[in-house]
Structure 1
Amino acid sequence: MNIKAGIIGCGSIAKFRHAPEYKGNPYVSEIVFYDRNPERSAELAELFDGSVATTIDELLADPSVQVISDCSSNENHHLFSTKALLSGKHVLCEKPISLTIEHANEVVEAQRKSGKKLMVDHNQRFTRAHQKAKEILNNGELGKILTFRTTFGHQGPEHWGVNKTNSTWFFKKDRSGFGVAGDLGIHKLDLIHYLLDDEIEQVSAFQGALDKVDENGEPIEVCDNIVSNLKTKQGRLGTAAFSWTYYGEEDNSTIIYCEKGIMKIYHDPEYQIEVITKDGEQVNYQLEAIQTNDNQTNTGVINAFINCVRLDEEPLVTGQDALSSLKVVLGILEAAETNSVVKI
């Protein structure tokens, strides 16, 4: 089966993750690139031996394009993903699925109407460590999950984005919407839902633009740090911290505390999972290196997306899953802005 893929938006995420992974997938024959900035699409088409669409409509009207990666900036996801689904394409949408619940519902509804696959790129579910962690938690050897803490932080998107400056769209409220909460936080909230097989239903939080400035030297319009308390439907309690100011080292760790022991994920540079039981026994797992901005390895996301199209399977991250995480992010931001406890 030969699949032709289209990519909307030719920034860093397309260049470093989507395009190379489509290129490396044996079932993908070609990539068609679209960006509102034609130099960018031309650059990636040359780099990955693909072609260029001059408009969105041209890309979506091409019957030979079966799958679309929506790598546009956050405020456009609901527009492009909805349109692509209704044009009969399978869609892999970057996270967050949208900036509002109303717009996210439009995307989910378009998927239902079109019958096409919609997967959202919450890539933490795909790492070997997180898959193994879920297996260990599911088999019950650690007993009931009681509490957890998770964090995700690095030195900020201005070191990763396509133009490597403080003018990055991630710092603009109208385009990024949620600051670090939507960039990094939403990934770990989705991961908690996945690992615990549970949903967060109550939150409180503090946020701030503590250190980042925009291209004019002014504090950015969105948060660069956010810290929250979380309670799930099944009564588990946890904390989550997300940051663009972890200068020196990225932190992507999660610790889950159970009746019979503790599981630490991405906590130790050598072992991706450490299990320490109640009676002091320790089991370490060496599975793979964590995907960081400086260490781009294959995320497995594109392969999983292509497989679910090819084999007609349910995506590992559905529109509904993405909607659940979006609701939690919006709740956390509301809690921080109103100094209150918010029910999701």
Structure 2
Amino acid sequence: MGIKVGIIGCGSITKFRHAPEYKANPHVDEIVFFDRNPDRAEALAKEFTGRAVKTVGELYKDPTITAISDCSSNDAHHIYSSNALLNGKHVLCEKPLAINVECAEIILEAQRKSGKKLMVDHNQRFAKAHQKAKEIIEKKELGEVLTFKTAFGHQGPESWGVNKSNATWFFKKNRSHSGVAGDLGIHKIDLIHYLLDDEVEDVHAFLGALDKVDENGQPIEVCDNVVCALKTKKGRLGTASFSWTYYGSEDNSTTIYCQKGIIKIYHHSVNQLIIETKDGEVIKYELGNIQTNDHQTKSGVIDAFIDSIIHDKEPPVTGSHALATLKVIEKILACKE
């Protein structure tokens, strides 16, 4: 007996990641799509041999649907995800979990009440080079972590979004809320928490709308660039840069500086993980490339979510993980005020 899943929101993240990965999962029998624009739901239902519903309530009330992916815009997560949980569905919510900590707490409370599983799509944890780096750090092969730097930047969501337009909701304060910080930055903050088994505690950041304009030619209402200095609870120091204005190749790299050497992650197209030791040894790993907007690869998120349901175990990225990351994003955004 397979699992039937619903998806709320039929934009690019559903079309290129959630739907194809559900379709490829052997335990998923059917995908049911909902979007506020019925044509978009119908189009994806046709593409992935699923079906579309006209109202979100049909997903909530269908007893045959076990789980729901919330791929709505950031401002709606606390509404859709909470309602899905309270209607007895397991939920995979896109990142950021919510537009702010207050809204995130609503989802976590719904999860506690329902007893259902809540997973958040912080997909960088599933990249093989990141998993290998975590293993090296945990085993203290290079001693303790001292400092780090991480970056995530590309040409912007208008080149990825379903309409390829600078009218994208990512540029709207009321829907995106956090701009590039909540779109790309949140991935790297979560990654640092994951790799270091630590949490960012102190933040100093500069952020601004440096180049992007909306459909009226006006500067966008949210940040398109963030540069920050970070300090963790365990005293590690680091820097992070997030950008929608890297007008060349995408940068999704991280460097971890340890007592006995350096770990370079996704700096090199062939050797995705490179270790340089203090005494001059260089160790190179080929572990497969990370997903980019231009080159979609299987993220592993959907499989992990379905696996947690089938085997009744805690998902690898929980609501509390996502909340800890969101708290850092709030601190970053507060630096502008």
Q: Same fold (TM over 0.5)?
A: yes
How far apart, CA to CA, are the structure 2 residues paired with 1:145 and 1:109?
A: 35
2:326 — aligned with what?
326
Q: 1:274-325 deviations in whole A, cap 9, x for unaligned?
A: 0000101010010111210000011010000000000111111100000001
How far apart, CA to CA, are the structure 1 residues paired with 2:103 and 2:157?
A: 25
**2:151 aligned partner, one-letter code:** T
**2:7 aligned partner, one-letter code:** I
How far apart, CA to CA, are the structure 2 residues paired with 1:313 and 1:190?
A: 21
Q: 1:254-288 deviations in whole A, cap 9, x for unaligned?
A: 00000010000001111110000010101001011
Shift of 1:53: 1.3
Please list, as runs of the form range in 1=range in 2, the aligned pairs for 1:188-337 lying within 5 A after superposition: 188-335=188-335, 337=336
For these two proteins, the number of residue pairs brought into alignment is 337
How far apart, CA to CA, are the structure 2 residues paired with 1:195 and 1:25?
A: 27
Shift of 1:59: 1.0
3-state DSSP of counterpart to 2:67:
strand
Shift of 1:52: 1.1
How far apart, CA to CA, are the structure 2 residues paired with 1:61 and 1:10?
A: 20
Q: What TM-score, normalized to structure 1?
A: 0.97
Please list, as runs of the form range in 1=range in 2, the aligned pairs for 1:20-35 lying within 5 A after superposition: 20-35=20-35
**1:62 aligned partner, one-letter code:** D
Please list, as runs of the form range in 1=range in 2, the aligned pairs for 1:20-99 lying within 5 A after superposition: 20-99=20-99
How far apart, CA to CA, are the structure 2 residues paired with 1:167 and 1:36?
A: 17
Q: 1:41-70 deviations in whole A, cap 9, x for unaligned?
A: 000000000011111111110000001000
How far apart, CA to CA, are the structure 2 residues paired with 1:291 and 1:100?
A: 26
How far apart, CA to CA, are the structure 1 residues paired with 2:36 and 2:167?
A: 18
**1:68 aligned partner, one-letter code:** I
Does 2:145 correspond to 1:145? Answer: yes
1:116 — aligned with what?
116
Shift of 1:174: 0.4
Q: What TM-score, normalized to structure 2?
A: 0.99
**1:36 aligned partner, one-letter code:** R
Q: 1:159-217 deviations in whole A, cap 9, x for unaligned?
A: 00010011000000000000000000000000000000000000000011111000011
Unpaired segments of 5 or more residues in structure 2? none
How far apart, CA to CA, are the structure 2 residues paired with 1:88 and 1:53?
A: 18
Unpaired segments of 5 or more residues in structure 1? 339-344
How far apart, CA to CA, are the structure 1 residues paired with 2:163 and 2:122?
A: 24
RMSD (Å) for aligned C-alpha atoms: 0.6
How far apart, CA to CA, are the structure 1 residues paired with 2:45 and 2:54?
A: 12
3-state DSSP of counterpart to 2:69:
strand
How far apart, CA to CA, are the structure 2 residues paired with 1:274 and 1:95?
A: 28
3-state DSSP of counterpart to 2:15:
helix
| Runs of 4+ in structure 1 over 3 Å off | none
**1:178 aligned partner, one-letter code:** S
Shift of 1:7: 0.2
3-state DSSP of counterpart to 1:252:
coil
How far apart, CA to CA, are the structure 2 residues paired with 1:214 and 1:149?
A: 31
